Structure 1
Amino acid sequence: KGLQMLADMYKNGLAPKDAVSWGFNETVTGFYSGTCAMLNQDPDALLGIADKMSADDFAVAPLPVGPSGKSYPTLGYAGWAMFANSQHKDDAWKLMATLLSPKDNLEWAKEVGVVPIHNGADQDPHFKTEQFKGWFTELSDSSKYEMVTPPTHLENLGNFVDQVAIKNFQEVLLGQKTAKDVADQWAAFLTKEQQDWMAKNKK
């Protein structure tokens, strides 16, 4: 139903015809140029938008809830790690500890366009704005917003996300495949990938 809803929006002219092939830069440009009234993107998109638009002209809202009264935003995240055989473990840990500390993580988040990882960041003047409010609303209300993380453990997920899903979704938008056929194809692929992973990782 979700794929069909998006396809219907496209077919009914609620997105530019050439949006079928847009990537990150084109979607962000489509928003700040006024071509598109709304944009569904990650916080880092605000870096480019804030350069082109007045803060009075845009804000971030939480994802709309569906018929169940819930919404399922994708939770993006960054993690830090060091190799067990690193010859610079002390230096690596100092860098990681700095990036993860409340004060430095707050400043780092402002520079790279992410939401800080520590509670209370929404009270910082930089983040206590309409431009970030939607993300903090999603993070603070788990009864309505259930965060979804991609199954990054699946061996072929990268190819699926970067190639297969894009091509298939374009085919749905252009009426070359039905939303149901593509949804069934994706479900079969992801189910097999999960089964393969489980078989390789039996405990």
Structure 2
Amino acid sequence: MRTSQRDQEFSEFVSAHRARLVAMARLLTAGDEAWAEDCVQTALTRLYLAWPKARVAENRVAYARTAVTRVFVDETRRAHRRREVTAGPDCPPDGPRRAGAPDGAETADLRHDVLAALAGLAPRQRAVVVLRHWLDLDVAETARQLDCSEGTVKSQNAKALAHLRDALGDHVVPAQAATAHEETR
């Protein structure tokens, strides 16, 4: 394949799928925008180098998601990641919530709480939750992307969901209660 054709094909792929990869990485990194961008950029670099193999893959998007997930897991193993703490306007310090906050603030608070709960998970647990529940992958595909057994995916998922239920408390509404609530409206 000629380089210009390869570059054009890769550029089209990136244009079509980069935003979704960044959104996925944002969840993996518990809202850390810069780290999410770094994970996607590193994954896309690896993907470009492996493009002859990736372009013939059955599902290029799944191939890219796997690359992003593996970059995230690799990065969590680095010592500097364990020491860094992100703080900024999008990541307010933990503290009491404002009572009687205006509309939209409740959504921002919930978003902050969910990202904080995700941040409290071990990296592989977070990856399992994102792959299984945000991307709606089955256990087998999640195991393939994380390069682990299906049993590991199931146990990590159970532990992660228990942690999220504890961390989110009142924000968690069981499916039956949510359905009953919708019916009474």
TM-score interval (norm. to shorter)? under 0.3
User: Larger RCO: Structure 1 or Structure 2 (Cα < 8 Å, ≥ 6 residues apart)?
Assistant: 1
TM-score when normalising by structure 1: 0.24
Tell which structure's C-alpha radius of gyration is larger. Answer: 1
TM-score when normalising by structure 2: 0.25
The answer to which structure has the higher helix fraction is: 2
